[in-house]
Amino acid sequence: MTGPDAASGPRRSAETSRIDPGGSALALAIAGYTAARLLLIAAVTVVVYFLPRAFDVEVPLVLALLVAIVLQLPMAWLLLPRQRYQVTELLAARTSQRRTERDRLRAALSGEGATSRTVRSDELPDPRP
């Protein structure tokens, strides 16, 4: 298995620590993980649909698809840990960025970030044209 073992938890890869989690990297990671899971569903559906035919048993396509959806859940957990950890890492970084930005905006709106320095009258711009 190429992913991290369960005892040590997820490892930060050099690739994901350099990626800006704000936009396209996150979208690409999510799209890639989703595509991998859909391909897994398709592969399991083909196996579940055609394998019983070798034994003269016919499985309806809808049933094969439902079984494939259920079977892909643990299979994706075991077969796609690197992609899952990358998406999780990018989502966590993006959440942290959004939280920091939200806190900064709240502080600015409440006046906490404003300076307490008073402006002297000679520092004001001359209102006369």
The proportion of the chain whose per-residue pLDDT surpasses 70, expressed as a percent, equals: 70
DSSP string, 46-115: HHHHHTGGGGT----HHHHHHHHHHHHHHHHHHH-HHHHHHHHHHHHHHHHHHHHHHHHHHHHHHTTTS-
Q: What average pLDDT is seen over the chain?
A: 82
Tens digits of residue pLDDT in 67-83: 999 999 999 999 999 99
Residue 120 lies in a domain: no
Residue 121 lies in a domain: no
Residue 3 lies in a domain: no
Tens digits of residue pLDDT in 28-45: 999 999 999 999 999 999
Residue 97 lies in a domain: yes
Determine the Cα–Cα distance for residues 66 and 41; give it in Å rounded to an integer.
9
Domain count within the chain: 1
**This prediction's pTM:** 0.65
Residue 38 lies in a domain: yes
Residue 89 lies in a domain: yes
Domain extent for 60: 21-110
Residue 75 lies in a domain: yes
pLDDT of residue 127: 62
